[in-house]
Amino acid sequence: MPGGSPQLLAGLRIIDLSRNLPGPFATRMLADLGAQIIKIEPPHGEPARALPGLYEALNHDKDVRSLDLRQPADLEQLRGWLLEADVLIEGFRPGVLAAMGLGFDALRALQPRLVLCSITGYGQHGPWAQRAGHDLNFMAVSGTLDQMRNAAGDLALPNIQWGDLAGGSSMACIALLAALYQVQRTGTACHIDISMTHGLRAHQMMPRSTGPLMATQLGRPPGPGEDLLNGALPCYKLYRTQDARWLAVGALEWKFWKEVCAALDRPDWVDQHWQRGLPPNSPASDALRRAVGDVIAHQPLSHWHSLFSTRDACVTPVLSLQEADAHPLFTLTPREPWSITS
């Protein structure tokens, strides 16, 4: 990245015992901000090594070391490293770390200013604490997967691991940095308990807010394509193009919808917007949605991409991963997700 990554966390030492995606992506983000990551793997390596590209993306520039935590000498080696660590991240099932003699009480006795961050599927306590699971399971049981349906009601299996990354990695980073702030102020160790399933549930603010609103109109909970931001609004929807591609129309505010109408040469649609009193899921709204779809279906994606490229309308093409990688947004302005100036 031009200029290098911001080194805001320089001097922070993190020992990472986690594997696969949630913990390693969390420490990848922290490493990008300057933290020193000591990654501990079992002698045979961690499962992500089976996918070299993924492993490299998660672990480049980390200090990778090998320990067999079933061996007393290796455990003692880890204890020695912990004396100089600020954070320990782990993703074992609840109780596994304690069985090694590394429960929170033992860790804070060893290092009184340590932050222990545990990432699990369902949390350290409760009836599901010992259940195995993966991203798909966390999305399924949290209600998140049920929100990922097409207009026909079929479930979609996303290729982004929202449970691991949003419910796990991101939540862990936020809580971990807050815990470090507390340690800085009080000198007291902290144990952060991250449940990926509960983290996903916390992300469901929109359907929990808009669902009841739509239900008052429909007389039932909204189904696929009937909630405020998943298809009920003509101004906020995915539309199929002539060449079987998709156009993302995100003109949620009336000022953007006016731009859309101008581009489509449909001034008669300008006041047909939810902010101008058009009720979502009403017959008039449904008719407008079909009419917009008919217009967009008569031209290929390239036409709409060109038409809206100079308009401030919140309309964009739906790109493939390969097309996105080649887009000027990323080729001309490569950068980290954050940009920090001090």
For residues 56 and 17, give the distance between their C-alpha atoms in angstroms, rounded to a whole number.
17
Q: Give the count of beta carbons closer than 10 Å to the beta carbon of residue 150.
A: 13
For residues 229 and 226, give the distance between their C-alpha atoms in angstroms, rounded to a whole number.
8
Q: Which two tokens stand for residue 337?
A: 């997700």
Active site residue 164: yes
DSSP secondary structure string, 148-200? Answer: -B-TT--B---SS-HIIIIIIIIHHHHHHHHHHHHHHHH---EEEEEEHHHHH
Sheet of 87-90: strand order equals 63-66, 36-41, 13-16, 87-90, 115-120, 190-195
**Whose CA is closest to 231, among 124, 149, 303?**
149
Residue in 164, 265, 268, 312 annotated catalytic: 164
Identify the helix (H) or strand (E) that includes residue 66: strand 63-66
Active site members: 164
